[in-house]
């Protein structure tokens, strides 16, 4: 029929347009997923300009409460009573935030260094927080027992917080000022020297930048 022959090109054109739209939607979703899975690099970029960086917020469950001696105990215990920790609750004190996992071999190298530094720094009001990620709870607790980790540790069973912070491997350590700004970042296992320097930057609120540390296990 003449009418049917005239409709065929129109239906064919619509079919091609629908197919193109589907391909475009698929590519857009794929790009969005890649962006969401890519680490944020804003912290290191800001630190490279000698500016303190905004710390991405988080709220995570406590893995180990730890020992909160004076002068930290009085103001932190009420905040930690619900067994969860938010970034906002850590403000007001210089903070060392260490990303780690029990399966991370370089994390074993730095664990004693972090614990010794915590013992020295706690009386000065410096807070240490371990952020365990992508780990089994039992394995994480065995790790903390083995190295006698006595500072506060929180847990992210995924890597969502790590992505927001731009973490691309383990271990990584961030230093936060009393105002909750990131003033330093060490990528890889941390040494005693780098830890002292980072703590000093956190206490003084002085941006120190992003520094390469020792070995690390890539997570991407």
Residue 71 or 146, more confident: 146
Confidence class of residue 6 from pLDDT cuts 50, 70 and 90? Answer: low
Confidence class of residue 17 from pLDDT cuts 50, 70 and 90? Answer: low
Rounded to the nearest integer, the mean pLDDT of the chain is 85
User: What pLDDT does residue 187 have?
Assistant: 97
Confidence class of residue 16 from pLDDT cuts 50, 70 and 90? Answer: low
Could you identify the residue written with the tokens 């330093």?
Answer: 184
User: What pLDDT does residue 37 have?
Assistant: 45
Q: For residue range 102-126, what is the model confidence (pLDDT) as tens digits?
A: 999 999 999 999 999 999 999 999 9
- HEC string of 159-204 equals CHHHHHHCCCEECEEEEECCCCEEEEEEECCCCHHHHHHHHHHHHH
Confidence class of residue 18 from pLDDT cuts 50, 70 and 90? Answer: low
| 109 close to 192: Cβ distance less than 8 angstroms | no
The CATH homologous superfamily of the domain defined by 42-218: Glutaredoxin (3.40.30.10)
The encoded tokens of residue 152 equal 């506060």
| CA angle, residues 33, 187, 137, in degrees to nearest 5 | 70
| 205 close to 179: Cβ distance less than 8 angstroms | yes
Q: What percent of the chain has pLDDT over 70?
A: 79
User: What pLDDT does residue 219 have?
Assistant: 77
Contacts of 61 (CB under 8 A, 6+ apart): 83, 84, 85, 154, 155
Q: Domain segments of the chain: what residues?
A: 1-37, 42-218
Could you identify the residue written with the tokens 């193109």?
Answer: 20
Q: How many residues does the chain have?
A: 220
Q: For residue range 23-57, what is the model confidence (pLDDT) as tens digits?
A: 444 444 333 343 344 445 699 999 999 999 999 99
Q: Is 54 helix (H, G, I), strand (E, B) or coil?
A: strand
Give the mean model confidence (pLDDT) for residues 135-162: 96
The encoded tokens of residue 178 equal 């009393």
């Amino acid at each position: 029929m003449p009418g049917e022959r005239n409709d065929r090109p129109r239906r064919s054109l619509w079919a091609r347009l629908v197919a193109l739209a589907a391909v475009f939607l698929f590519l857009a979703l794929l790009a969005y997923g890649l962006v969401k899975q890519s680490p944020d690099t804003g912290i290191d970029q800001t630190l490279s300009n000698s500016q303190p960086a905004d710390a991405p917020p988080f709220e995570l469950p406590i893995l180990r409460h730890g020992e909160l001696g004076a002068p930290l105990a009085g103001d932190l215990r009420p905040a930690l009573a619900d067994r969860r920790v938010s970034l906002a609750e850590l403000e007001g004190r210089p903070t060392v935030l260490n990303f780690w996992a029990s399966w991370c071999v370089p994390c074993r190298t730095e664990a004693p260094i972090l614990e010794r530094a915590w013992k020295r720094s706690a009386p000065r009001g410096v807070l240490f927080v371990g952020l365990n990620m992508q780990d089994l709870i039992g394995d994480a607790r065995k790790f903390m027992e083995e190295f006698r980790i006595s500072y506060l540790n929180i847990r992210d069973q995924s890597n969502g917080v790590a992505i927001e912070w731009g973490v691309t491997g383990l271990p990584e350590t961030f230093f936060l000022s009393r105002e909750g700004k990131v003033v330093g970042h060490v990528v890889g296992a941390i040494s005693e020297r780098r830890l002292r320097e980072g703590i000093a930057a956190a206490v003084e609120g002085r941006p120190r930048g992003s520094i390469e540390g020792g070995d690390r296990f890539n997570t991407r």
